[in-house]
Each structure stands twice: as C-alpha cells, then as structure tokens.
Amino acid sequence: MSAPVIEAVDLVKKFGDFTAVDGVSFEVPQGTVFGLLGPNGAGKTTTVRMMTTLATPTSGSARVAGHDVVAEPEAVRASMGLTAQAATVDDLLTGRENLRLIGDLYGLDRRFVRTRTDELLERFSLTDAGDKIVKEYSGGMRRRIDLAVSLIAHPAVLFLDEPTTGLDPRSRVELWDVLRDLVRDGTTLLLTTQYLDEADQLADRLVVIDHGRIIAEGTPLQLKNQSGAASLVVTVSRHDEVERAADLLRGVVAGDVHVDADARKLTAPGGDVSALARIAADLESAGIDVDDLGMQRPSLDDVFLALTGHKAEESSNQEEVTA
Amino acid sequence: MSAATEAIAVERSAPKPQGAGMVRQVLTLVRRNLTHIKRQPEMLTDVTIQPIMFVLLFAFVFGGSIQIPGVDYKAWLLPGIMAQTIAFSSFIVAIGLNTDIGKGMVDRLRSLPIQRSSILISRSLSAIIHSSIGVAVMSVTGLFIGWRINEGIAKGLLAYGLLLLFGFAMIWVGILVGSAMRSIEAVNGLMFTTIFPITFLSNAFARTDVMPAWLRTIAEWNPISSLAQAMRDNWGIAGIPVRADAPWPLHHPELATLIWSLAITLVVAPLALRAFNARTTD
C-alpha cells in the first residue's frame, strides 16, 4: 500500500492541566474517508487543529501529504483545505467574492480563479446565489459555500470538522453526495462527527475517540460486529399473538427474547440466517401474520454505548475547554 | 483548442498554491475589509457623522463661551477632533480584529499558505484608510466653518503626516485590545471608558492653561495635546503662544508626537503581537 496521506503518531495536546488529546495515532490512505467519531469535547476539533497547523502538538507528530505539520507548516497549508466547525465564510461578501478572496490568497491565477469559481458554484447549486451576500444564505447554503471555498485550490486533503452539524436532513444527504464525489475524484477526507449515521454513511475507516483517547477503530462494519452478532427482529400484526410468537422465537434462538408488547416487536440476539429461515417457517405454519421480519446488526449507537457507557451526542466532559 | 480541453489545461496548470506574494495578500485582505464598509456604510458613522456632530456641537454650543485669543474657536477645535478621530482608529482595528477572531475568520486565514503578518497589516491599513476618510470629511467640513491651512503646503502636509503617524501607533493598542478581549461588547466597553476620556483630558477641546494645576499637568503631557498642538502650529491656527512654563512637549509638539508615537509602538507592539499569537495559536 502506498504511503498514508494523513498520518498521526501519538499526538498529545495539553491545555494547562487538561489533556484534550491523549496519544492519538492513525493513518489515512489516499482517496479514502477517515472518520473521527466522538461526543462533544472528546478531542476531535483539537486533533484537527493540530493536523491543520492551527495548534501545535504538545508531543507526538503528524504528517499531511508527506509534510510534517510542525516542521513544514507552509507546505501542509498549501496541500490541504479546512472546513471548520462553524462555517467561516465572510457574511458581508457574496459567495463569489468569498471564493475569489480565498483564491487570491492562495496566489492562484486570476483567470483560473474565475473559471473555478463558476465551476464550484455550479457544483454546489449556488450559481443563482453567487452574487448574493452570504448573510442572506440558508444554513445549508452557508455550509456549501464554506466547503466550496475550501476546495478552490484543489486540495489533495480535506479536513471537515462536523460538516453537517446544524443542517436539516435533506441538506445533510446532499452534502454527503458532494463529499462522495470528491473522494471519487481522489481527494482524501478526514471528517469528525458526533453522528453515527454520518460515520456509517461516509467513512471507510473510523476511530472512536473519547476523553482524548482512541477507544476503538476499524471499518463501520467491524465496529458493529465487535459489539455483538446480529439480532432477529419480528414485528407481529396482532397484539394477541405477541406471546405465541415469542414462544416460537425462544425455540429457535438460545438467548433471551426481548418483548416490546406495545410495539408488537420481538428482538432475539444471536440470530443468523438459518435461524431467520426457521422462524419464518414456524410463524407461517402457526398462522401468525407478521408486519416485519428480519435481521438487524447493532447500530453504531449501540457500539458507542457499549464502548463508552454513554451516548454519542452527550458531552464526554462537562468542563470542556473550548479551544 | 476546444473549450473543454482548454478547461482541462487550466485545471492542470493552475493549482500551484504557493501562497500569493505578500503584497497581493495584503491588498486582497484590505479590499475585503473595505468591501465591508461598502456593504455597511453605517460603519463610517464613527468617522463622519460623529466627528461632524462634535464639530458642530462644540463650535456652536460651547463655542460662544470658549474664547481662544487670536483665533476663531471653530477653526482651533477642528485639529482637536481630528486627533480624537485618529486615536479612535485603535477602536476600529480592535472591533475588526475581534470580530474576525470570534467568527473563526482568522483561523481560516491561518489555515492558508499566506504570510500570517498580512492579517494584521491589512487590518491596520484598512483602519488607517477608514480614519483617513474621516479626516478628509472633517477637513471639508472645516472649510465651511472657517478652518484654513495658513502656513503653506509643506507644513500643512506635515500636520497630516503626524496625524497618520500617531494613528499607526494607536493601531497597536487596537490589536492588543482586539486580541485580548473575549467579545465585541468587552472591546466597546474598554475602549469607550479609556480612549474616550483620554482624548478629552487634553487640549483637544479646551485650553489647558485655565485648568486646575493637576489636571493641566496631565492634559499637557497627553500625546493628544502634542498632536493637536503640532497641527495647530503647522496650520497657523494656534492662537495664543504656548505658555513659557508649559511642559516640553507643547514647545516641541512635532518632535513630541514623533517620540510619543515611537514610544507607544515600542511598548505596545510586543504586547499586542503576544496577545494576538496567544489568542490565535492553539
């Protein structure tokens, strides 16, 4: 495998007595999406700030596109784009002016900046809004122009700090599509998120980070498998058949069957495909109608809860130092 | 060559983001800051309506009861208000910088391959341009109320030069305050309760020789007084000569303004840079 495009080795960041990042290491191959998943205050933003030369590591090292973040910060900045947690675009400039501002600062050819601006506005469905000042944009549009600005110089590496926080579901899905396009074109993405579905949707590999430490890593599927096998889930049509169905299910799987009588839903952990086939046959011969029948893998939410003892959207540290 | 292949050629050749030359970086950022003024012209009230209001209020409300022998109070007052306006360029820098830090704009700029000093240089230049608009507006206003440059072009320009020099020194104060304060409200509060009274404890609006002794000492050593005195001398609108027992700065107001400007810069600039770096690193 080729050398990683992003590499962190034992990164540590302390603010006084508080250790925000406590020995984080990972590698991201070219053209892949790497997720840093964790609750508020877990150390995700601080990690990104070190990778993007905005903060100096207390110890450890990191390389982006082959350049050391401490020794060659200029080279790192020239090869990456950053979309920070709060959309940092200039409210009083138009979308087009924002793109030009950053393009000019990169020292790009003016003619190129014009072409690229049109191309990016088009790609992010902002052509009509390009000459409006950003203050008048919706939240989703702000996010899109913010991302467009980060892409003006074709960065090989893109850092995205909670790119969809505060977006409505439709805007999130649209942004995910754009990010997938970028990866298809060879961009390497590192994104932080506290949303498990987002990591599940986008990341090729991810680490779960809590209190500044990596507590798990792997592909989304590996992480889900880690926290247990799939379950069989049956939803019966009639309330008075819940108990009969539960008895049938107990005959098929070894473990306890969880019964949610109100929802007419039965969950049995430890099921596999043959168990699924048997319960389907048993339910049919018993004449029990079902609304839904299937296998369910644990969600990343389950994984997170199992790993940390708290839910992902809760803060891991009440005294978080915002840096 | 078709449009499509040309587009591809541009695509391949262009992205060499080595960072623009520093001059282009600074000009780009100055243009951005000036666009803010264009989009929000009310940002200029501090250097237009407010000083004109002061000129008119002081000239016509107090003007009757304040007599400066040998010169019309209205003409004499104008350099005082210009000195006050230029001192407020620190305010403009502090607000602009604090906003950019607070909204994450400084972080975005710092993540680009640019000379980081261009962030501060462009802020300073924008503030000087901002204040200069005010000085120009006041000069025109002055022409209507009897203010003139009486000592020739060279001395006339020297006075403007000293005004700008002092403005650049005050900008460091603005960088310090803008970096150190955590909110715009804090910047406003601090600047209004310090710079505002300081500009009044001077000869900007009233004669110092009739002030109580302790106040007179403070007022006559105030850099605002040297600056106003230097402008009045060089524009030929000082009226009565400076008292023989007045402190040194009023007898050598040009040199005193130069020294004050250098002293403020030497003391405040290192603190300002440290505050800015501390606030924007990590």
The predicted pLDDT at position B230 comes to 97
B121-148 confidence digits (pLDDT tens): 999 999 999 999 999 999 999 999 889 9
- Is A90 touching B (CB cutoff 8 A)? yes
Domain for residue B229, yes or no? yes
pLDDT in tens, B55-64: 888 888 887 7
CA atoms of A274 and A230, how far apart (whole Å): 13
- Domain assignment of residue B14, yes or no: no
pLDDT tens, residue by residue, B77-89? 999 999 999 999 9
pLDDT computed for residue B124 by the predictor: 93
In a domain, B110, yes or no: yes
Chain B, 215 to 244: residues with Cβ < 8 Å from chain A are: none
- Longest Cα–Cα distance of chain B, Å, equals 83
Task: With CB atoms and an 8 Å threshold, state whether B113 touches A111.
Answer: no
Helix, strand, or coil (residue A256):
coil
Give the closest of A54, A109, A153 to B110, CB-based. Answer: A54
What pLDDT score does A228 carry?
65
- The alpha carbon of residue A40 is apart from the nearest alpha carbon of chain B, in Å, by 18
Q: Domain residues for B75?
A: 21-280
Higher model confidence: residue B230 or residue A255?
Answer: B230
Judged by CB atoms closer than 8 Å, whether chains meet at B17 and A108 is answered as yes
CA atoms within 13 A on the CB side of A36: 34
Coil, helix or strand for B140? helix
d(CA B155, CA B203): 21
Q: How close, in Å, is residue B5 to chain A by CA atoms? A: 13
Q: Is B34 on the interface with A (CB under 8 A)?
A: no
Number of domains in chain B: 1
Q: How confident is the model at residue B20 (pLDDT cuts 50, 70, 90)?
A: low
Residue B178: name the closest of B247, B123, B139, B130 by CA.
B123
Tell me, yes or no, whether B16 lies in a domain. no
Rounded distance, CA B205 to CA B234, Å?
Answer: 18
Chain A residues with CB-CB distance to B28 below 8 A:
101, 104-105
With 70 as the cut, is the pLDDT of residue B42 above it? yes
**By CA distance, what is B16's nearest residue in A?**
A108
Q: Which two tokens stand for residue B206?
A: 């009233």
Structure tokens at B162: 């000293």
- Cβ contact B163:B131 at 8 Å: no
pLDDT bracket for residue B225 (50, 70, 90): very high
Domain for residue B70, yes or no? yes
Please check the confidence at residue B3 and state whether its pLDDT lies above 70: no
Give Cα separations from B5 to A3, A13, A109, B9, B13 (angstroms): 32, 47, 18, 6, 12
Distance (Å) of CA A278 to CA A265, A285, B137: 18, 11, 89
Q: Which residue of B has its CA nearest to A149?
A: B108
Decide if pLDDT at B8 tops 80: no
Q: For residue B5, tell me if it sits in a domain.
A: no
Average pLDDT over residues B3-13: 38
Tokens of A217: 């890593």
| Amino acid identity, position B180 | A
Residue B50: CB partners within 8 Å, gap ≥ 6? Answer: none
- Which residue stretches of chain A have pLDDT < 50? 316-323
Specify the pLDDT at position A316: 47
A163-205 residue pLDDT tens: 888 888 888 888 899 899 999 999 999 999 888 788 888 999 9
Distance of alpha carbon A290 from alpha carbon A219, whole angstroms: 33
The dihedrals phi and psi of A215, each to the nearest 5 degrees, come to -110, -10
**pLDDT (0 to 100) of residue A153:** 92
The partner residue sitting opposite B20, judged by closest CB among A53, A56, A106, is: A106
Would you call A88 and B108 a contact, using CB atoms and an 8 Å cutoff?
A: yes
Whether B163 contacts B55, CB under 8 Å: no
Q: Please indicate, yes or no, if residue B189 is contained in any of the structural domains.
A: yes
CB contact under 8 A, A52 and B111: yes
Given a cut of 80, is residue B104 above it in pLDDT? yes
**A322 in contact with B at a CB cutoff of 8 Å?**
no
The pairing of beta strand A80-83 with beta strand A157-161: parallel
List, in order of start, the domains of chain A with CATH numbers.
Answer: 4-225 (3.40.50.300), 229-296 (3.30.70.100)
* SS3 call for B133: helix
Q: Do A106 and B113 touch (CB under 8 A)?
A: yes
Q: What token pair was written down for A37?
A: 């998943």
Q: What is the CA radius of gyration of chain B?
A: 22
Is the separation of the CB atoms in A75 and A67 below 8 Å? yes
- Distance of alpha carbon A227 from alpha carbon A216, whole angstroms: 11
Q: Do B80 and B55 touch, CB atoms closer than 8 A?
A: no
Determine whether the interchain pair B110/A82 forms a contact, defined as Cβ–Cβ distance below 8 Å: no
Q: Is residue B238 part of a domain?
A: yes
Euclidean distance between CA atoms A104 and A175, whole angstroms: 26
Sign, CA dihedral A309-A314-A316-A319, equals negative
Question: What are the CA-CA distances from residue B224 to residues A54, B62, B81, B162 (Å)?
Answer: 39, 20, 10, 11
Average pLDDT over residues B204-230: 94
- To 10 degrees, the CA torsion angle through A38, A39, A41, A44? 30
Name which residue leads in pLDDT, A229 or B29: B29
B residues 94-113 closer than 8 Å to A (CB): 103-105, 107-113
Report the b/e string of B124-145 with b at 16+ CB within 10 A.
bbbbbebbbebbebbeebbeeb
For residues A29 and A183, the answer to whether their CB atoms sit within 8 Å is: no
What separation, in Å, do the N-terminal and C-terminal C-alpha atoms of chain A show? Answer: 35
**Phi, psi at A7, each rounded to 5°:** -145, 130
The type of residue at A51 is M
**A-B C-beta contacts closer than 8 Å:** 99
For A127, how many CA atoms within 13 A lie in the half-sphere containing its CB? 7
User: Is B5 an interface residue toward A (CB < 8 Å)?
Assistant: no
Q: Do A106 and B17 touch (CB under 8 A)?
A: yes
Which among B96, B230, B78 is positioned nearest to B165, based on CA atoms? B230
Taking a C-beta distance cutoff of 8 angstroms, is the pair B33, B96 a contact?
yes
